[in-house]
Structure 1
């Protein structure tokens, strides 16, 4: 299926909240159904609202045959970012030093189940990261999410640390890093 991509800055992303919520609901069906507070649609949309307030926020929506089939978004980490709060392992000196130009945080890649395994996630990943001026990117992945973890490793990511975000009910993640140079 040929994909088309729409890039949205933070203002345009805020106008696309219905599409964002719909893709989220179709991508996290099992986690939402499990009833964990962190994964409710309301909690996700609250986080999304906060994310869109960040300088440099970018959302990419993939469409196939005119239907949204996935999304990915992130932003550059500013000086004093809370992204690295909750580290559970030691990292190299100055690893967490940010200035708004060093690290792009890839916050989410979502692809609903009927479109998984068709290269949509990889295409979204590449589309969001292509041409980024930062020297590296980071993302958080649950260690038990075997399929996503394996994909990220194939795409050049490596584990840097364990991290539990400073958010109510947040799980423990592996923080991965990828060079963008």
Structure 2
């Protein structure tokens, strides 16, 4: 698989691709419906994330065909990321400065590449360029019958609690781990 890194300046050249893969996976494969999961709302979130300092993405290609993507941003001092946590977290845990924590906002892999390790390779390739000390993500605990959360746990993430960042979004499990795990996966 070939990985292409991009920053916000490179987004417009691949926006159509990111939106198409998102729609294919979220709507067609997983049947996610409702306004929160619509392509238009995803595009708005994508634009909002890409407008923040430090946004970066990785797109994985297999023989020229997009297999998936991931992207995220560092959490700024004024982040709202932790505000809807249930239970609320200690102030020291959620203190942000734009350099402490990076949020993995999305990781999406097309059906043909699921179960091949593509998601882990996208994740690790994206993290390899990060300078923050820790990474956080939100996962729908029911996704894949709970298997998606289990995958993240196998990558070293631990649960911090739950949050619902938008009134019409799912209730997500918030997870965190060091950017560089204490026990990296065996090389293959």
TM range (shorter): over 0.9
1:63 aligns with 2:64: no
What are the residue-to-residue correspondences of 1:155-174 with 2, within 5 Å? 155-165=155-165, 167-174=166-173
Question: Whole-Å Cα distance in 2 between the matches of residues 104 and 132 of structure 1?
Answer: 8
Q: Which residue of 1 aligns with 2:13?
A: 15
The answer as to whether partners of 1:104 and 1:136 remain within 8 angstroms in 2 is: yes
State the shift of 1:26 in Å.
1.7
More relative contact order, 1 or 2 (CA 8 Å, 6+ apart):
1
TM-score normalised by the chain length of structure 2:
0.89
Of residues 112, 135, 138, the one that matches 2:136 is: 138
- Distance in 2, matches of 1:80 and 1:34, equals 30
Contact persistence 2:26–2:32 (CA under 8 A): no
* Count of matched residue positions in the alignment of Structure 1 and Structure 2: 178
**SS in structure 2 of the partner of residue 94 of structure 1:** helix
Q: Per-residue deviation at 1:29?
A: 2.5
Question: What SS does the aligned partner of 1:84 have?
Answer: coil
Structure 1 residue ranges (4+ consecutive) displaced by more than 2 angstroms after TM superposition: 29-35
Pairing 1:67-82 to 2, within 5 Å after superposition: 67-82=65-80
State the partner residue of 2:186: none
Q: CA RMSD in A?
A: 1.5
1:147 aligns with 2:147: yes
> What SS does structure 2 have at the residue aligned with 1:61?
strand
1:163 and 1:175 in contact (8 A); partners too: yes
Q: Deviations over 1:127-151 (max 9, x none)?
A: 1111421110000001112121111
Counterpart of 2:50 in structure 1 is 52
What runs of 5+ residues in structure 1 fail to find an aligned partner?
Answer: none
Contact 2:135–2:176 (Cα < 8 Å) also in 1: yes
Is the alpha carbon distance of 1:168 and 1:92 closer, same or farther for their aligned partners in structure 2, counting shifts above 3 Å?
closer
Q: TM-score under structure 1 normalisation?
A: 0.93
